[in-house]
Structures are given as structure tokens and as C-alpha cells.
């Protein structure tokens, strides 16, 4: 018969070993999480450093909107132009397919001109939430570490996940795909995926990206053509 004292000692040792394993697992998990956060924070810092060096940018874009309740996505494409000054940013989207239209963002004002309809919709930048987020990211506005919780989804290299802390509540998470910056150290944005609270997904992909080519201010100045109706949006 095994003495009771021996049984108690064995159980205590097993419990101690179990606690040690749990503690070791917790430390390992914390270490992995810290390393992941450091990697995402470094990627965010590289992004912001790059875009603060960019005065202007132009690229081809494809925008895809996938609704949760529909199988067929809505796809549009065209060119975008962006210009930064010391205190503001301006942006122009020239959609070429499937409908010809232009969108101008100047500060907090948004103008959307559709020649086919002979009308301009005038509102605040937030009226097109997806374009507003793309504008903020591409213009280097804000502070990623301050405004978002950072992570790297599924340990995918070059992808930064942004979880909004306060503003931009329209989207639950934003995944930013990066590519090396061709003009020096750092990375730049090649794609953005925006997941909203309704299960919809909006993605932007950017190709033929050119930076600091000297875009002129008048490229971003829009005057409605004669006979075009301007509709003020709340």
C-alpha cells in the first residue's frame, strides 16, 4: 500500500508541474503577442514615414464592393490623384468604368460629378466613408498608433490590420496591404480592405503608383459646367 504522504507529495508535484506549464504558456503567448504588436507598430511607422515624404500621388485603382446579401460585387475602376500641402490634402477620383464620374475631396468637402446625370452632389467627406478612409490613409493624415489598435492578421507579411478606436466607426476593421516604396526605404499602400458592421466588404487595389511628379493645384479645382445641377447634401 502506498503511503498517504507519498500520494500527497506526488499530487503536489503534479499540480506544481501543471501550474508551471500554464505559466510558461502564458509567458510564451505574451511574448508572441508583444512581437506581433512590435511588428505591426513598425509597419505602421514605416507607412506614415513614407506618406509624410509624398507631396503628390497618382495611381490606377479598382474599387470592389461586396454586399453581404448579394453574390455579384459592384466593381469600378479609374485613376486617382492626390496632392498634399502643409495644412491640407486634396484628392480626385476619375472613375472610367462602368460609369464616367469624378469625385473631388478638398479638406472636408466632397463633390461628386456625374456627367450622364448632369448633376453634382455636394456634401461632407464622410458621405462616402470608404473614399474618406482611403483619402486619410493615402494622405498620411492622423496617427495610426493613436487612432487604431494595430495587428498583423494571420501573420501575413506586409499586411497591417487597423481596428478603429473612436472615429471611423463605420468600419469594424481595415486591412492595409503594403508594398516596398520604390523611392527609398519604407513601404506604401497597394490595397485596402474595409469591413463594415453589416458584413459588407469594400476593397481598393492600386497599380502604376507614381509619386512626387509635380501635380498642379488646378487639377483638383472643379467648376460645375453650365447647366449642371448642384445638389447640397446634409
User: Cell numbers of 1, please?
Assistant: 500500500
Please list the rounded mean pLDDT of every run of 10 residues in the chain (234 residues): 51 50 35 49 91 94 95 96 88 97 92 96 85 88 87 84 78 93 87 94 96 96 95 89
Nearest CA among 25, 34, 40, 31 for reference residue 155: 40
Between vectors from CA 167 to CA 180 and to CA 196, what angle results, nearest 5°? 75
Burial class from Cβ neighbours inside 10 Å (0-12, 13-18, 19+) for residue 65 reads: middle
Domains and their CATH numbers in the chain: 47-232 (2.50.20.10)
Between vectors from CA 63 to CA 122 and to CA 60, what angle results, nearest 5°? 95
Distance between CA 217 and CA 84 in Å, rounded? 10
Specify the 3-state DSSP secondary structure of 168: coil
Q: What is the pLDDT of residue 182?
A: 83
Amino acid at each position: 500500500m502506498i503511503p498517504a504522504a507519498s500520494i500527497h507529495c506526488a499530487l503536489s508535484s503534479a499540480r506544481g508541474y501543471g501550474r508551471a506549464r500554464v505559466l510558461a504558456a502564458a509567458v510564451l503567448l505574451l511574448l508572441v503577442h508583444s512581437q506581433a504588436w512590435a511588428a505591426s507598430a513598425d509597419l505602421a511607422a514605416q507607412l506614415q514615414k513614407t506618406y509624410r515624404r509624398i507631396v503628390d500621388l497618382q495611381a490606377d485603382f479598382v474599387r470592389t464592393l461586396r454586399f453581404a446579401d448579394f453574390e455579384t460585387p459592384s466593381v469600378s475602376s479609374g485613376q486617382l490623384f492626390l496632392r498634399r500641402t502643409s495644412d491640407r490634402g486634396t484628392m480626385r477620383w476619375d472613375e472610367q468604368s462602368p460609369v464616367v464620374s469624378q469625385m473631388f475631396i478638398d479638406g472636408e468637402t466632397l463633390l461628386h460629378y456625374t456627367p450622364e446625370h448632369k448633376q453634382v452632389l455636394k456634401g461632407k467627406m464622410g458621405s462616402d466613408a470608404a473614399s474618406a478612409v482611403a483619402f486619410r490613409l493615402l494622405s498620411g493624415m492622423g496617427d495610426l498608433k493613436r487612432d487604431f489598435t494595430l495587428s498583423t492578421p494571420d501573420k501575413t507579411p506586409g499586411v497591417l490590420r487597423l481596428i478603429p478606436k473612436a472615429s471611423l466607426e463605420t468600419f469594424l476593421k481595415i486591412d492595409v496591404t503594403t508594398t516596398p516604396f520604390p523611392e527609398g526605404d519604407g513601404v506604401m499602400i497597394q490595397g485596402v480592405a474595409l469591413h463594415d458592421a453589416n458584413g459588407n466588404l469594400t476593397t481598393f487595389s492600386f497599380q502604376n503608383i507614381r509619386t512626387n511628379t509635380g501635380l498642379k493645384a488646378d487639377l483638383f479645382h472643379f467648376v460645375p459646367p453650365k447647366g449642371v445641377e448642384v445638389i447640397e447634401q446634409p
